[in-house]
Structures are given as structure tokens and as C-alpha cells.
Amino acid sequence: MKEGDFSDFVETTSEPENGAVSAYERAAEEGIDPRCIPQHLDGPPPVGDAIAYPDYPDLDNENWRFLFNRQMELLPGRAGEAFLRGVEILGMTPERIPPLRDLSRNMEAATGWRIARIPGLLHEKDFFELLANRLFPSTDYIRGTDELDYTPAPDCFHDMFGHMPMLTNPAFADFYQLFGQVALNAKGADRTRLETLHWFTVEFGLIQQAEGMRIFGAGILSSKGEVVHALSDAVTVHPFDPDRVVEQEYDVWHLQPVLFALESFEQLVDGFRSWTRSKGLLT
Ligand SMILES: [Fe+2]
């Protein structure tokens, strides 16, 4: 992808065969980054206080500090109020990679969401199941120094800094749980529509505030290039309408030319609920 890393889940029906070469071994043979191979959870992941804090090398904390400071400098006047408040609520600082258990405790106090530590890119069913249970799947490893501007794989800067602040907002938090519940039961074209809706809200969403247009999407807010581009004249912004959003084409390899803006996060959860009912996706 051009900027950042936005693939939180991957749709695939292929299953590893017993005795066959593992997906990781095959990826290595084919020159594919093994971090981009979706994984099934082989059991319940550790949640909240059960998540151990890794013994990060100094370089990992330096990379966190660099990324955190670089994004935070760009965010005033660009990031939405709810996102910036979320960074404070979670207690994120540039000092070091925050412990997932601390973020989970602060998130739980705000909205009842907790954090589950996952090993990397997940198959979509595992991903949706966690969301449906108000558990946010997060990695705990960070990109290397050579990938500060771009990484094709999930990492904790995108998961923590990009996604977690919005999960301290009650309306967004309710929307995301509902999204998981609906996506878990959706099939075929409906899954694709939901993936598109995820893209234009959770990853690339904008919100119209009294002071002007602001960003809340994790794919934009964790990427240096996208955050500058998203509010520029190069982007056409449409009002949020789920029927319109799900038909919008997008290209994950380039900066986004079309985005959608909410009026409020209540509009997101209410609009999504109405849309899923109208499509028979919510019983
Ligand atoms: Fe993401």
C-alpha cells in the first residue's frame, strides 16, 4: 500500500492443509512478507491485564517516539476532537510504546472496550468475533526504522495510535461493536459492502466539526502522507450516507481521492443501524 497500513482483516477461504507447507513457509518461498499472511487464532488471545509487556529494545521505543511526535505535530487543526481527547484518555505519551494492559484499562473505563493482543493480520472471522465482543485486536510489535513512512504489515503504531483513541468515544465504540456483529453474519456481496464501509469510516473517515473538517480514520491519522492529503483540495468529500458509501470504489495503493464526512458519531451508529436493518443484516 502507498501509505501506512490499513488491512486489519483479510477475507480468505483457504485453510492450511495438514502436513502441507505452512503459510509462513510458503510466503518466504514466494518472497511475500510473512507478516501479511492472515492468521487464525489458535485459542483465546490474552486480554487486558493478562497481556505481558514485551522487553522492547531501545530502538523500538525510539521508533514509537519518532512516529508519535511526527503525527502529533501534524494533528492540531486536522484530527477530530474525539480522537485527540482519546489520546489523552488512553494516556499515550511519546516516551515509550504503551503497555496494552494500561491502554485496555483506560479504554474499558471510557466505553467498556478492552484490548486483545493478537499475533498479526487476522482472518476476518476472528477479527469480527473480537469486535462483536467489544475487544479490540492489537499487535504489540512496531515497524522497523526502515519502514517509518510505510509498512505493508500491521503494527502497534497503527493499531494503538491510529485506532484506539476513537474507541474511547461512546458512539463510535457502539458503532464498531455493531459492525463486528453484523459483519460476522454477512456473506458474499454484503461482506464486500461492509469492508467498503469500514474503509471509508474506521480507516478513512472525516467528520464535519463547527471549526471545520476533521479526520477520525485510523488509516489517515497514523500516516504522514494521508494526514496532509486528506484535507487538501485534491480530495472530493461527500456527506456520509451508507447507501452511497458502500458503492464507492477505492484503491488501497494510492492516496484517496474521495472521502466521506459525518456530521456526528451518533449519525454513524444510527445510520449504520438503519442501513443494516434495511438490508436485513440485523435481526
Ligand atoms: Fe486499521
- Which DSSP helix (H) or strand (E) runs through 262? strand 258-262
Strands 212-215 and 135-138, how do they pair?
unpaired
In DSSP terms, which residues pair with 123 in a beta bridge? 10
Residue 208: φ, ψ to 5°: -85, 110
Predicted pLDDT at 27: 58
Contact in structure between 124 and 184 (CB atoms under 8 Å): no
Residue 66 is assigned to a structural domain of this protein: yes
In DSSP terms, which residues pair with 208 in a beta bridge? 213
Instruction: Indicate which CATH number applies to the domain containing 139.
Output: 1.10.800.10
Q: Where are the beta strands (DSSP E) in 96-245?
A: 114-117, 122-123, 135-138, 206-209, 212-215, 236-239
Predicted pLDDT at 8: 77
pLDDT in tens, 216-266: 999 999 999 999 999 999 999 999 999 999 999 998 888 999 999 999 999
Q: How many residues does the chain have?
A: 283
pLDDT over 80 (residue 186): yes
Rounded Cα distance, 206 and 237, in Å: 9
Spacing, Cα 199 to ligand 1 middle (Å): 9
pLDDT over 80 (residue 73): yes
DSSP class per residue in 120-159: SSEEHHHHHHHHHTTEEEE------GGGSS--SS--HIII
Confidence bin at 115 (pLDDT 50/70/90): very high
Q: How many domains does the chain have?
A: 1
pLDDT over 50 (residue 1): no
Residue 2 is assigned to a structural domain of this protein: no
The total of other beta-carbon atoms located within 10 Å of residue 110's CB is 16
pLDDT over 50 (residue 13): no
Question: Given CA atoms 139, 141, 144, 149 in this order, what sign does their dihedral have?
Answer: positive
User: What is the chain's alpha carbon radius of gyration, rounded to the nearest angstrom?
Assistant: 18
219: nearest Cα among 207, 208, 230, 231 = 230
Spacing, Cα 160 to ligand 1 middle (Å): 10
pLDDT over 60 (residue 92): yes
Spacing, Cα 115 to ligand 1 middle (Å): 14
- Mean of pLDDT values over 54-59: 97
Grid coordinates of 78: 486536522
Distance, first Cα to last Cα, the chain: 36
Spacing, Cα 32 to ligand 1 middle (Å): 20
**Which tops the pLDDT comparison, 229 or 15?**
229
- Mean of pLDDT values over 57-63: 98
Residue 23 is assigned to a structural domain of this protein: yes
Residue 249 is assigned to a structural domain of this protein: yes
Residue 283 is assigned to a structural domain of this protein: no
Active site positions, annotated: 158, 163, 203, 222
Residue 207 is assigned to a structural domain of this protein: yes
- Mean of pLDDT values over 183-196: 93
Grid coordinates of 159: 493499531
Spacing, Cα 18 to ligand 1 middle (Å): 31
Chain-wide mean pLDDT for the chain? 91
Confidence bin at 5 (pLDDT 50/70/90): very low
Spacing, Cα 158 to ligand 1 middle (Å): 6
Residue 267 is assigned to a structural domain of this protein: yes
Predicted pLDDT at 153: 85
Kindly state the percentage of the chain with pLDDT values over 70: 89
| Amino acid of residue 183 | A
Confidence bin at 24 (pLDDT 50/70/90): low
Residue 4 is assigned to a structural domain of this protein: no
Kindly state the percentage of the chain with pLDDT values over 90: 80
**3-state SS assignment for residue 190:** helix
- Mean of pLDDT values over 10-18: 46
Contact in structure between 259 and 237 (CB atoms under 8 Å): yes
**Which range of residues forms the domain containing residue 105?**
9-278
